[in-house]
Amino acid sequence: MGNSWFLGILIPIFLCLLFSGGSVNGLGVNWGTMASHKLPPQTVVQMLLDNGIKKVKLFDADSTTMSALAGTDIEVMVAIPNDQLLAMNSYDRAKNWVRRNVTRYNFNGGVNIKYVAVGNEPFLTTYNGSFINITFPALQNIQNALNEAGVGDSIKATLPSNADVYNSPANNPVPSAGRFRPDISGLMTQIIEFLARNRAPFTINIYPFLSLYGNDNFPFDYAFFNGGNPVVDNGIQYTNVFDANFDTLVSALRAIGYGDLTIIVGEVGWPTDGDKYANIANAQRFYSGLMPRLAANSGTPLRPGYLEVYLFGLLDEDIKSIAPGSFERHWGIYRYDGQPKFPLDVSGQNQNRYLIPAQNVEYLPQRWCVFNPNANDLSRLADNINYACTFSDCTALGYGSSCNNLDGNGNVSYAFNMYYQVQNQNVLACDFEGLATLTTQNPSQGACNFIIQIVASSSSFVGPSLMGMPLFAVLTLVLL
Ligand SMILES: *[C@@H]1O[C@H](CO)[C@@H](O)[C@H](O)[C@H]1NC(C)=O
Ligand SMILES: *[C@@H]1O[C@H](CO)[C@@H](O)[C@H](O)[C@H]1NC(C)=O
Ligand SMILES: *[C@@H]1O[C@H](CO)[C@@H](O)[C@H](O)[C@H]1NC(C)=O
Ligand SMILES: *[C@@H]1O[C@H](CO)[C@@H](O)[C@H](O)[C@H]1NC(C)=O
């Protein structure tokens, strides 16, 4: 009896030890925000804390996001989007960016910024060289501004690149033959020299899924970590495309004399919808191979050991561009609403457990918009579906996707509902010239989920996370 207070303290401590701080060393996640309905930043930060995820990579330096991260020890990579690279070619603008978006948060109880990502895959071949002349000057200006501000020892500028910046020749497609892409090899050499001089890492995004996507000759199992006929290169057996791709980069770096440069994997992951290869089973297989390897610090054949890796991504993003493919909106290890999609053990022990979901998520009412079976004029049906899908996310309807098996009416209902939910269930958004009607019966079928949207987070500046901060800190954030 007299000891119950003691147990009352001990049990919560024990539970905390059991369930938090449990992620693989070096594990981070990408937190993208291209969503029509965003979870409140404080909710997302709490998800990271609850799951013991200690690193996060952002695609900007949005102040509401930064405020939510303030006071935590989560390590942060902030970013300069490609459309701001040109501005960063002015050293004054770069200094201003660093002052407003980095050093502003550099106080006790502020944000633990470790990296500034300068651009996002700016040398992607599909950009046709648009950023080729402006990326390196921006990178130099940002690192120099960090150095001048006195934070350059602990905060490094880096350049997240797509794996298409290097390759092996088609007639010798082995990792050891890796070289930077001929059209940018001179530029890449200058960039790598600069990074090395500043002891900054190179950041690479590697997507085994994309090796498979659109290439039916790609050996399926080689995209994962547990199978496939090995590729042999100088006596090294490569059993998966992730290792082979990473070591192609290591070889490209070695070829220019920087084989020891630190490499961060800025993005790696597997989408769960929008393509025949993008599904829960494949994503689960991919992550259940990746996580134990990270936990074991196995690294790759040319770089054994610790690897800093950011999963892509944290949450589904329903307004991302689908130019690369419909799967783009389905990369999350969580759904749009912060619910985990499949078991994923971030401790790397492959226990059959789910991530801890977002807490206290607010949903709109249990209402759906569906095709009205009594509608008599169907002449405008195609136009209305087109309208609904232009302004909402219908990617789950496509070939090989989760809602591809719906019948004609189901298709129409899915499109109408997505639009209605994006419009926050505004009744006016469920008319479609008399073709639509409301229902409180969930029309979901099998794997095809007719969603209810969440209450969109307002972008007001002061959030609960600021309440725990000392007043001077809040003032610093507001005034600077
Ligand atoms: C700081 O970052 C935000 C968000 O990415 C951006 O909109 C803003 O322009 C940046 N500030 C400066 C002074 O460049
Ligand atoms: C790149 O060029 C192609 C073909 O000329 C064009 O279709 C595409 O829109 C261009 N992309 C960009 C980002 O400029
Ligand atoms: C980049 O600079 C080169 C050399 O000055 C020039 O030929 C090329 O047109 C420039 N590219 C762009 C996209 O501005
Ligand atoms: C449903 O819509 C998808 C995507 O628009 C289309 O591919 C499919 O053929 C449609 N199915 C039916 C039964 O209309």
What is the domain partition of the chain in residue ranges?
22-330, 368-439
Average pLDDT over residues 254-262: 98
> Is the pLDDT reported for residue 2 higher than 60?
no
Q: Which two tokens stand for residue 329?
A: 């909106």
Spatial strand order of the sheet with 156-158 comes to 156-158, 112-118, 75-80, 55-58, 27-31, 308-311, 263-268, 202-205, 160-162
pLDDT class of 471 with cuts at 50, 70, 90: very low
Q: How many helices (H) and strands (E) does the chain have?
A: 12, 15
Instruction: Let me know if 267 is a catalytic residue.
Output: yes
> Is the pLDDT reported for residue 7 higher than 70?
no
Cα(133) to ligand 3 centroid in Å equals 6
Top pLDDT among 131 and 462 is at 131
pLDDT in tens, 380-434: 999 999 999 999 999 999 999 999 999 999 999 999 999 999 999 999 999 999 9
DSSP 281: H
Ligand 4 is surrounded, with C-beta below 6 A, by 397-398, 407-408, 411
385 to each of 224, 292, 410, how far by Cα in Å? Answer: 37, 44, 12
CATH code for the domain defined by 22-330: 3.20.20.80
> Is the pLDDT reported for residue 476 higher than 60?
no
pLDDT in tens, 117-131: 999 999 999 999 999
Q: Which of 267, 308, 317, 328 is catalytic?
A: 267
The beta strands (E) that lie in 347-412 are given as 368-371
Minimum mean pLDDT among 322-331, 378-387, 453-462: which range?
453-462
Nearest Cα to Cα of residue 63 among 475, 459, 470: 459
> Is the pLDDT reported for residue 170 higher than 80?
yes
Ligand with the closest atom to the CA of 125:
2
Q: Identity (one letter) of the amino acid at 316?
A: D
DSSP 98: H
Q: Which two tokens stand for residue 397?
A: 């309807």
Task: Please work out whether the CB of residue 129 comes within 6 Å of at least one atom of ligand 3.
Answer: yes
Task: Scan for tokens 């880096």, then name that residue.
Answer: 158
pLDDT class of 458 with cuts at 50, 70, 90: low
Q: Are 61 and 101 in contact (CB under 8 A)?
A: yes
Q: Sign of the CA dihedral 322, 26, 333, 37?
A: negative
Cα(124) to ligand 2 centroid in Å equals 12
Q: Which residues contact 478 (CB under 8 A, 6 or more apart)?
A: 461
Nearest Cα to Cα of residue 432 among 392, 378, 394, 395: 378
- Bond preceding residue 119 cis, omega within 30 of 0: no
Query: What is residue 229's predicted lDDT score, i.e. its pLDDT?
Result: 79
Q: Which two tokens stand for residue 391?
A: 């302004």
Share of the chain above pLDDT 90, in %: 88
Q: Identity (one letter) of the amino acid at 16?
A: C
Instruction: Let me know if 75 is a catalytic residue.
Output: no
Query: What is residue 214's predicted lDDT score, i.e. its pLDDT?
Result: 77
Cα(62) to ligand 1 centroid in Å equals 7
Query: What is the rounded radius of gyration, in angstroms, for the C-alpha atoms of the chain?
Result: 24
Produce one character per residue of 210-232: b if its CB has 16 or more CB atoms within 10 Å, e if not: bbbbeeeebeeebbbbeebeebe
84 to each of 80, 115, 128, how far by Cα in Å? Answer: 6, 17, 17
Of 78, 90, 100, 141, best ligand 1 pocket probe by most atoms within 8 Å of the beta carbon: 100
Q: Are 236 and 301 in contact (CB under 8 A)?
A: yes
Q: Which residue lies with its CA nearest to atom 7 of ligand 2?
A: 126
List, in sequence order, every residue forming a beta bridge with 30; answer none if it has no partner.
57
> Is the pLDDT reported for residue 265 higher than 80?
yes
Minimum mean pLDDT among 54-68, 119-133, 221-235, 323-337: which range?
221-235
> Is the pLDDT reported for residue 480 higher than 50?
no
pLDDT in tens, 57-74: 999 999 999 999 999 999
CA angle 272, 273, 278 (to 5 degrees): 65
Q: Which residue lies with its CA nearest to atom 1 of ligand 2?
A: 128
Nearest Cα to Cα of residue 68 among 44, 91, 47: 44
Tell me the backbone φ, ψ of residue 312, rounded to 5 degrees.
Answer: -120, 120
Mean pLDDT taken over the chain: 92
* Chain-centroid distance, C-alpha 189: 28
Integer Cα distance of 423 and 442 in angstroms: 18
> Is the pLDDT reported for residue 468 higher than 90?
no
Residues in the chain: 480
DSSP 300: B
Top pLDDT among 468 and 83 is at 83
Integer Cα distance of 124 and 147 in angstroms: 28
Exposed / middle / buried, residue 374 (Cβ in 10 Å: 0-12, 13-18, 19+): exposed
Proportion of the chain in helix, strand, coil states, percent, rounded to 5 = 40, 15, 50
Cα(399) to ligand 4 centroid in Å equals 8
End-to-end CA distance of the chain: 54
